[in-house]
Amino acid sequence: MKTSRIALAACIFLAAGSAAYAQAQKQPKLTEFTLATGAPRAPEQLAVVFEKADLQFKVDPAKRSLSGDAALTFRATAPISRLSVELDRNYAIESVSVDSRKSPKTAYRNPEGRLTVDLPQPLSVGERAVLRIVYAGKPHVADRAPWDGGFVWAKAPTGEPWIASAVQGEGCDLFWPCIDHPQGEPLEVTQHITVPAPLVAAGNGVALGMDEKGGWRTYHWRARDPDTYAISLNIGPFEVLEGEYKSRYGNTIPLRYWYLKGNQAKARELFAEFPTMLDFFEGYIGPYPFGDEKMGVVQTPHLGMEHQTVNAYGNDYKKSEYGYDWLLQHEFAHEWFGNQLTNSDWDDMWLHEGYGTYMQPLYLQWLRGDMEYYANLMKHRTDLINKFPVVSGHTQTGSQVYDEATGPGHDLYYKGSLVLHTLRNLIGDRDFFAVTRQAVYGTDKPTPGNFKPRYLSTPQYIDIVNKVTGNDYRWFFDVYLYQAALPELIAERDAKGLSLRWKTQSGKPFPMPVEVRVDGRERVVAMKGGSGRVDMPAGAVYTIDPHSKVLRELPYMGQFKADKAARDKAAQAAKATANSAKK
């Protein structure tokens, strides 16, 4: 979930228990380059494999400061004479070295947030170099995490420091030197997080132990193939619930939940949802991708984010009207759609958010039945914008995609979800879930150990659909993803029946079959060439698409949204007038 930009319909509150949010103090501005994420990679970044990031962090809550020591191992895939990573230039760089040789200050530069380091000698193909960067400063503070990226310096209800990072929208370079691009994932990340005792630092991957010395604790963690923005810092007076899940695939998955002390009863209730969610995902999609590490969740002073194997949770234990914690389920969905399957470019972000969002109604259908499935999808339908295409077809940054003034915004979630619902009905469950497994794992028969995290673009996803089904469905994605307007179904009745015709933006072909119910009998209209006809007697009662299988333009929905916008505007004006009168 990209809660750091767009609030889903249900997430209108930023819940953090009784913790007080720290207001962002006056701080240096981020450069436009650092503020964005997913800019095209530098030639030096394209010419390396990022094998390992060994990250040492010392977090001082009293000073709201971060000291970092990053050792980054790169293997050259082409001859290169320098290395390049992203790091917020507002950090003071204390030293830079390559393979333990200190670099002179003239050998590196960081004008806008892309740090470039000249190598003592060029690397040939296959050679490795370890770039070490020691730096310190005050991390950028989020004004309103997770919508605005940065650090949150809060207090737990019991008074201790409660700290979290949430950097999806602005990128990993807000606190560690990285390749700030979806395809910049290191193969391995180790973290050594030093915090004042007795605070706890919950981390990504596998726990390697904890050292305590001189009033400070250092927690050691190791994670494989982490999404760049999924590396996180989560620090607080945590207690932990532990358990195990016996997978249908024969492996045992560690379960961990770090929660604020004093909330054990609520924490146990949330923890009880972990196995049910695993049952669903492993049954419908496939093996939990990080079963050799853990399914982890940590309570945070912001709403949430998909931090690989230690998902951020700040929903304050509020269950939805469907009787489950939607936020926990959504963030967990991103272990498959985001962390295992990573978009090749931010322009393909619907693969994270559309699939992640569709997992909520699908979960409800599995858990409770069709009524809640369709009720949840109807909520998605009321929030469509249809101003920009979900996929532009060219490289975009995260901010361009999530900003509704320049990109699809929360259509990534809701339109993506409804497109998947429509695709599922078009090609059938067998092929739909085969497509999904191929997209996520690279195989339709995944088992623990026979797959690795992978990147995927929208054209590659379409190729998978075509290969699995044996049909060419480019027309489907051309209309739903690559154009903004929804297809409109024109229905005209005459004395002998009903004529149907699809109308699309720019006249794109759209042979989408449509079901029509006539006097209780249902039939499928093939719509070859985008049109079709149903013969029926005069006076017959008919319903188009009676099972709501097809996403299409609905005139009454537009009127509802216009009326709602007018009401909201009037309510805001009235509130402003009332506040002015009080003054």
Tell me the C-alpha distance between 71 and 56, whole Å. 9
pLDDT in tens, 254-275: 999 999 998 899 999 999 999 9
Q: Are residue 438 and residue 524 in the same domain, yes or no?
A: no
Active-site annotation, residues: 331, 413
| Beta carbons of 94 and 135 less than 8 angstroms apart | yes
Q: Are residue 42 and residue 121 in the same domain, yes or no?
A: yes
**Amino acid identity at 1:** M
Is 542 within a domain? yes
Q: Are residue 281 and residue 157 in the same domain, yes or no?
A: yes
Q: Are residue 152 and residue 238 in the same domain, yes or no?
A: yes
Q: Are residue 463 and residue 531 in the same domain, yes or no?
A: no
Q: Are residue 277 and residue 348 in the same domain, yes or no?
A: no
| Beta carbons of 234 and 258 less than 8 angstroms apart | yes
Beta bridge partners of 166: 150
Is 272 within a domain? yes
pLDDT in tens, 477-515: 999 999 999 999 999 999 999 999 999 998 999 999 999
For residue 451, the domain's CATH number is 1.10.390.10
- pLDDT value for 74: 98
Q: Are residue 276 and residue 345 in the same domain, yes or no?
A: no
Q: Are residue 284 and residue 394 in the same domain, yes or no?
A: no
Tell me the C-alpha distance between 162 and 153, whole Å. 6
End-of-domain residue from the set 462, 480, 498? 480
User: 394 a known binding residue?
Assistant: no
> Which residue in this structure is represented by tokens 């029926």?
536
User: 302 a known binding residue?
Assistant: no
| Beta carbons of 348 and 391 less than 8 angstroms apart | yes
Tell me the C-alpha distance between 306 and 288, whole Å. 14
End-of-domain residue from the set 333, 353, 374? 333
Domain containing residue 232: 32-333
Is 571 within a domain? yes
* CB-based burial label for 489 (10 Å; 0-12, 13-18, 19+): buried
Question: Is it the case that residue 203 has pLDDT exceeding 90?
Answer: yes
| Beta carbons of 145 and 152 less than 8 angstroms apart | yes
Question: Is it the case that residue 402 has pLDDT exceeding 70?
Answer: yes
Q: Are residue 325 and residue 348 in the same domain, yes or no?
A: no
End-of-domain residue from the set 274, 308, 333? 333
H, E, C per residue of 527-551: CHHHEEEEECCCCCCEEECCCCCCC
Is 19 within a domain? no
- pLDDT value for 1: 47
pTM: 0.93
Is 11 within a domain? no
Q: Are residue 377 and residue 327 in the same domain, yes or no?
A: no
Q: How many domains does the chain have?
A: 4
Is 362 within a domain? yes
